[in-house]
Amino acid sequence: MRDTDVDAEGLRQAKLNIGQSVQDTDDALSKFVGELERFGEPWGDDDLGSLIAISYQGIYAAFMDCFGSNLELIDEHAERIGTAADDYTATDTSTAARTDRIAANVPDLAL
């Protein structure tokens, strides 16, 4: 059986990096929305403008929903990576403690 090494600190760092990326993306998205809002409703109020507005609003809503839900999902994955790191650390600590208890109770059978 091959040994498996898990770098819990590496996982924690990955969680932090992913979380920062989510925050950076959310900040950029907020800035983008602010820029869009500065334009107001430039399509006008005639029939063609009304059609453009309806299309724009539908696309905008779908875009924002997609980005928002994806950022939430990525953030949830980052949290699970952090939980995995904590679980690996707890398991390693528990295993080491059990091994020490076993070693302390095994009689010396050396001849």
- pLDDT band, very low/low/confident/very high, at 2 (cuts 50, 70, 90): confident
Q: Give the mean model confidence (pLDDT) for residues 85-89.
A: 96
The pLDDT value given to residue 111 = 58
Give the tens place of pLDDT for each residue, 21-80: 999 999 999 999 999 999 998 888 899 999 999 999 999 999 999 999 999 999 999 999
Asked whether residue 97 carries a pLDDT value surpassing 80, the answer given is yes
Q: Which tokens belong to 55?
A: 């299309």
Contact 85, 8 (CB under 8 A): yes
Spelled out in words, what is the top-level CATH class assigned to the domain 8-93?
mainly alpha
Q: Give the mean model confidence (pLDDT) for residues 14-24.
A: 98
Contact residues for 14 (Cβ-Cβ < 8 A; gap 6+) = 78, 81
Asked whether residue 107 carries a pLDDT value surpassing 80, the answer given is no
Q: Which tokens belong to 99?
A: 């091994």
The pLDDT value given to residue 109 = 67
The pLDDT value given to residue 105 = 84
